[in-house]
Amino acid sequence: MKETEGRVFMSQSRDDLQQRGWILDGIPETREQALLIQTLGVSPRHVIVLSAPDAVLIERNLGKRIDPQTGEIYHTIFDWPPESEIQNRLIAPAGISEGETARRLLEYHRNIVRILPSYPKIVKVITADQPCVDVFYQALTYVQTIHRSNAPFTPRVLLCGPVGSGKSLQAALLAEKYGLVNVCCGQLLKEAMADKSKYGEMIRPFFEKETAVPSYIIMKVLRQRLDQQDCVERGWVLHGFPRDRDQACLMDSMGYKPNRVFFLNVPFDSIIERLTLRRTDPVTGERSHLMYKPPPTMEIQARLLQSPKDSEEQIRLRTELFYRNSAELQEFYGQAITLNGDQDPYTVFEYIESGIINPLPKKVP
C-alpha cells in the first residue's frame, strides 16, 4: 500500500470508523502491504477470502463489458442489458484476456499464501462459485460472529527499545493476534495536533520548534486514549512512552501500570543498517530500503530522498539517549523481559508472545 493510500485511509474519522465499522477491499495484495497495514494500526476483526476455480474466474472475466458513457459494468452471461442501444456501445475492458487473467491469478496464488498467516484465526474461506445471495449470507453470518481474545488475561503491554528496534511492527502483530489496542505515543500527539483539540494547541509550539513535548502534556493525551472503553476492555500495547524513569513514575502514579514490559535490545550497527538506508520516493510516496526493499529501477533510485531523521548523526543521538535512560527504566520495571531484537521479526514476536502467555518468573530474593 502506498503511503498516500495509507494517509487517505487513516484520515477518515476515527470515531466514524469505530462506530460504523469498515470494509477494506483490494488491499493487501502482498505480505509487505499486510505488514504495513498492521503497522498503521489497521486490524480487521474478520478476513474473508472468496475462492473459486481458476477456470470459473477466467470465464467470468472474459465476459465483462463496460459502458464507456456511464462506466457501468455488465456481463455477457450474468448481467446483459436489455436495451439494444446500450448493448451496441459496450466494450471489453483492457486486461481481461485469458492470458492476462491467468497471469494475474498466478500472481494472486503466490501472494495469498504469504498474506493469510498475517491474520491467524480470523480467516474465513467462502466458495464464490455459487449464487451471489448465498455468498452474501455466508459472509454476513461470519462477520456477525464475535471472536474471543486469545490472551489469558487483559494484557497491558509496554514495548521499550531504541529507534529502529522494531517496536511498531511488534505492537502491530500483538494488536492483530490478541485484539489489543495499538497505542503509539508519537502518533497520538500528531493526531491531537491535527484534530486542533485543546491538547493539540498545547503541543503545536513544541512540534514547530522541534523540541520535546513536556511529559505532563503527553500524559494528558495518553490518559485520554487509555481511558477509552476499547483500551479498558481489550487491553493495550504501548510504545514510545515512557522514555525515562521520571515518565514511568508519572504514568504509574496515574494508575497506568503495564503487566508485561519488554525491552528490545539491538546493536547500534544493526540500527544504522535498518534506518540510514531507508528512502522515500517523492513522486509516489512509496518507501524503499536500499538493502531489504530496493527500488525497481535506477530512475526511481536516483530521485529517492532520505529523511533528516534517518541520518547517522540523528540516529546516534537518539540511540544514545535511549540507552542512557534504559538502565533506570529497567530497574523501575523490575519484572521486565529483555529480548534480542536483532533477529527475524517473527522470531522476536514468538519470544514476546511466550512472555505474555506464560506467568512472569518470580524474582529470587
Q: What is the pLDDT of residues 11-49, one digit of tens each?
A: 445 556 666 778 888 889 998 888 888 767 677 888 999
Supply the pLDDT for residue 9: 43
Q: Which amino acid is at 129?
A: D
Highest CATH level, class, for 3-143: alpha beta
Q: Which CATH superfamily is domain 156-357 in?
A: P-loop containing nucleotide triphosphate hydrolases (3.40.50.300)
Closest CA to 31 of 107, 92, 140: 107
pLDDT, residue 218, reads 93
Cβ(149)–Cβ(178) under 8 Å? yes
Number of other residues whose CB lies within 10 A of the CB of residue 196? 10
CATH topology identical between 3-143 and 156-357 = yes
CA atoms of 175 and 111, how far apart (whole Å):
23
Domain boundaries defined on the chain: 3-143, 156-357
Tens digits of residue pLDDT in 153-162 = 688 999 999 9
Question: What ranges in 116-147 are assigned the alpha helix state H?
Answer: 132-143
The total of other beta-carbon atoms located within 10 Å of residue 293's CB is 14
The whole-chain average pLDDT of the chain stands at 85
Q: Angle at the Cα of 200 (from 195 to 201), degrees rounded to 5?
A: 120
Residues 6+ apart with CB under 8 A from 40: 6, 9, 10, 172
